Amino acid sequence: MSVLDWGVLVLTLVGIITYGIVRSRGSRSMNDYLLAGHSLPWYHVGLSVMATQASAITFLSAPGQGFTDGMRFVQFYFGLPLAMVVLSVTFVPIFHKLKIFTAYEFLESRFDTRVRTLTAGLFLLQRGLSTGLSIYAPSIILSTILGWNIYLTNLIMGGIVLAYTVTGGTKAISYTHLQQMAIVTFAMALAGYLTVKLLPDGIGFVDALHVAGKAGRMNLIDLKFDPNSRYNIWSGLIGGFFLQLSYFGTDQSQVGRYLTGETIGQSRLGLLMNGLLKVPMQFLILLVGVLVFVFYQFNPSPIFFNKQETDRLKQSAYASDYQLAEIKHQNLTAQRQRAVLDMQAALQADDQSGQEAAGTRIRETDEALKGVKSDVTKLIKKANPTADTNDVNYVFLRFVLDYLPHGLIGLLIAVIFVASMGSIASAYNSLASSTVVDVYKRLIRPDGDDMFYVRASRWVTIGWGVFCIVVAQFANQFGSMIEAVNILGSLFYGVILGVFVVAFYVKSIDGKATFWGAIIAEILVILSWYFDLTAFLWLNAIGCLLVVGIAWILQRAWGR
Amino acid sequence: MTRNPTDLPPFVRSWPQLYAIVIGSLVVEMLLFYGLMRWLS
């Protein structure tokens, strides 16, 4: 990184942190500190909801997924607009009318204290762990670029967010989300545009899409119903619907965002704005990854994008094996480049059989290149069993550093930081809200005044910050980070959603049956995941239905 | 803080209409994606 990049990065981060701290003034009550005094308009709510969901993981892993796996990941978000409509009809009016701080408060009024405490506990466990992953995501960037110690980097990343989250309340977080989304949108659009500009003369955007399509990367829709396939239209619509409904309806980091709306209507509009924009946004982020894939069809690509690991391999006893793999990779890359140029010529001549033949060669060399990569991955693991071999997370970063102009590099690194800060800030805030409102105030110290709980919230935020940083230190044990977060969510969200579904729609079931239904369902969901019985997206639907079904049976069995 | 008609965007008359617009947009996107995939494959 050049001085210009460092300047852009530091200026962006300092600007946002300062703005957040300035905006934190004036929080004199729990309502101000945790819900921004119910004062925010719909576009604040909408952008804050989007910024909370779009973490650094979104901008690191998603282009990498587009590069390695194509566009099919976009189907994962098809359930989101449907979930936004259900939330607007059911959840938002009830939460607003009850004037609650956390979603789990509602469960006590419907059931009892132990259902509220159990659900809040599941949320705290899940959110605490996944926030650790959100801290780790930008930290690997710094450690790769600067050779910093990853543990120290996690500490710095989690720490600077704490600096303004503790002093600033929800209002400050929402205001900084506005800036963050503006920066992220501008920088990603510019990165996509420049990637197309970097393609050889005569290759435009449409040509690039054709090359991607022939290479099997424009796999946007998979109509085949397969419970073991991670991404198809059915898992996206049904599994994704349950996951998004659970996430937005029962995860305090999101509930806390839309409860800041001035009225029910403003909260609804914010959620529906998210429903309209999320799929196109995710499509464009994946498309950037696909364009990077096309770029590397015309240019030499590294076998492994995480340069730190290949540098280590070159110094190990497996250096000669790696050299052989590199030669094989270079030959295959040259073959692929010739096939892509033939494809280009066939496209211009409208030669269908030529396109088919070139397409087959592209796919064959692509498979062979994946084989070489797999061999190198094994070598890296042999040389260093603790090595980070999840290359998906490094693809976009490596491309940015190697090919994009100075200044934009700094801006894109800043994007990854600010996106991360947005989601981590919301997570810290929600963890503190639930701990103070659902546990401390409800069970331990119910007699404090408003300012006492605001001070307690600040201390609890610090405590959760420390916990999440510790989790981040172990995050490299998970696979692709974006998938790790979604798997973690799927283990808990379905059960939490099931409790809320019973609360909203099955009035005949009481707290005792719901409590035990949730415990049994959670055990069954964890066992399903452990024994790999189904793709993780389905765990949300399974968890939710199990809670409803088991609670219903228990209610009947106990005869009340 | 019940339903406030002034919260609706100027071109929308009711909440159900707005929900239909959101779901309709998803259907259009899925059709466009399918068409794009078939065209480029």
Name the more confident of A115 and B4: A115
Q: Among A305, A294, A313, A306, which residue's Cα sits nearest to residue A366?
A: A294
- Number of C-beta neighbours around residue A415 at 10 A: 25
pLDDT, residue A477, reads 66
Q: How far is CA A386 from CA A139, A381, A394, A470, A488, in A?
A: 17, 7, 17, 18, 22
Q: How far is B15 from A419, CA to CA, in rounded Å?
A: 31
Helical residues (DSSP H) of A54-112, grouped into ranges: 56-69, 79-86, 92-98, 105-110
**Residue A254 confidence (pLDDT):** 92
Q: Does position B20 have pLDDT exceeding 70, yes or no?
A: yes
pLDDT at A518: 93
Torsion over CA of A355, A361, A363 and A366, rounded to 10 degrees? -140
**Which pLDDT tens digit goes with each residue over A31-64?**
888 888 788 899 999 999 999 988 777 787 889 8
Q: In chain B, how long is the greatest CA-to-CA distance?
A: 51
CB A77 within 8 A of CB A240: yes
Q: Show which residues on chain A lie within 8 Å of chain B, measured between beta carbons.
A: 42, 71, 74, 78, 81-82, 84-85, 88-89, 93, 96-97, 209-210, 212-214, 218-221, 233, 263-266, 268-269, 272, 275-276, 279-280, 283
pLDDT digits (tens, 9 = 90+) for A352-392: 888 888 888 888 888 898 899 889 999 988 888 877 777 88
Whole-angstrom distance, CA of residue A423 vs CA of residue A433: 15
The two counts, helices (H) then strands (E), for chain A are: 24, 0
A2-25: pLDDT as tens digits = 899 889 988 988 888 888 778 766
Structure tokens at A335: 């073959």
Asked if the model's pLDDT at residue B2 lies above 50, the reply is no
Q: What does the pLDDT read at residue B5?
A: 54
Tell me what pLDDT residue A34 has: 82
Sign of CA dihedral B28, B34, B35, B36: positive
User: Would you say A11 and A179 are in contact if contact means Cβ atoms under 8 Å apart?
Assistant: no
Nearest Cα of chain A lies from the Cα of B17 at a distance, in angstroms, of: 11
CA distance A264 to B15: 12
Residue type, A157: M
What confidence tier does A88 reach under pLDDT thresholds 50, 70, 90?
very high
Of the ranges A143-157, A356-370, A526-540, the best mean pLDDT one: A356-370
**Which band of pLDDT confidence, cut at 50, 70 and 90, is reported for residue A78?**
very high
Determine, for residues A264 and B37 on separate chains, whether the beta-carbon distance falls below 8 Å: no
Disruptive mutation site among B3, B39, B40 for chain A (greatest number of A CBs within 10 Å): B40
Per-position b or e across A351-365, b if 16+ CB within 10 A of its CB:
eeeebeebbebbeeb
Cα torsion for A278, A281, A283, A286, to the nearest 10°?
-120
Residue of chain B whose Cα is closest to the Cα of A92: B2
As a whole number of angstroms, the distance between CA A459 and CA A323 comes to: 53
Question: Hunting for tokens 């200044």 — which residue is that?
Answer: A407
Q: What is the pLDDT of residue A148?
A: 75
Considering CB atoms only, which of B4, B22, B41 is closest to A272?
Answer: B22
The yes-or-no verdict on residue B1 having pLDDT over 60 is no
Q: Give the model's confidence band at A142: pLDDT under 50 very low, under 70 low, under 90 confident, else very high.
A: low
Q: Is the pLDDT score of A229 beyond 80?
A: no
pLDDT reading at A293 higher than 80: yes
pLDDT bracket for residue B3 (50, 70, 90):
very low
Who's near A211: CB < 8 A, 6+ residues apart? A203, A294, A297, A340, A343, A344, A362
Average pLDDT over residues A320-345: 89
Q: Vertex A233, ends A231 and A238: CA angle to 5°?
A: 95
Interface test with A, best of B2, B11, B19, B27 (most A CBs within 10 A): B19
Give the Cα separation of A359 and A42 in Å (integer). 47
Give the residues across from A117 on adjacent strands.
none
Least confident of A188-197, A256-265, A486-495: A486-495
CB contact under 8 A, A275 and B39: no
ipTM score of the complex? 0.90
State the amino acid at position A63 in one-letter form: P
Say what the pLDDT of residue B29 is. 95
Read off the pLDDT of residues A423-441 as tens digits, 9 standing for 90 and up: 898 999 999 999 999 999 8
Q: What would the DSSP string read from start to end of A425-490? A: HHHHHHHHHHIIIIIIIIII-TT--HHHHHHHHHHHHHHHHHHHHHHHTTGGGSSSHHHHHHHHHH
pLDDT tops 80 at residue A479: no
Q: Pick from A24, A87, A23, A462: which is nearest to A261 by CA?
A: A87
In whole angstroms, give the CA distance from residue A142 to residue A156: 10
Question: Which residue(s) pair with A319 in the sheet?
Answer: none
**Residues A529-536, mean pLDDT to the nearest whole number:** 80
- Residue A198 confidence (pLDDT): 92
Q: Confidence class of residue A480 from pLDDT cuts 50, 70 and 90?
A: low
Condensed to tens digits (0 to 9), the pLDDT of residues A161-193 reads 887 788 877 888 888 888 888 888 898 899 999
What is the mean predicted confidence (pLDDT) over A535-558? 89
| pLDDT exceeds cutoff 60 at A326 | yes
Of the two residues A473 and A463, the one the predictor is more confident about is A463
> Nearest to residue A243, comparing CAs of A65, A420, A75?
A75
> Taking the model in full, what pTM does it have?
0.86
CA distance A90 to A541: 18
| Residue bearing the bigger pLDDT, A214 or A89 | A89
Report residue A421 as tokens: 């800060």
Q: Which amino acid is at B33?
A: F
d(CA A230, CA A282): 17
Location of structure tokens 């650094």:
A56
Quick one: pLDDT at residue B6?
Answer: 67
A473 Cα to chain B: minimum distance (Å): 39
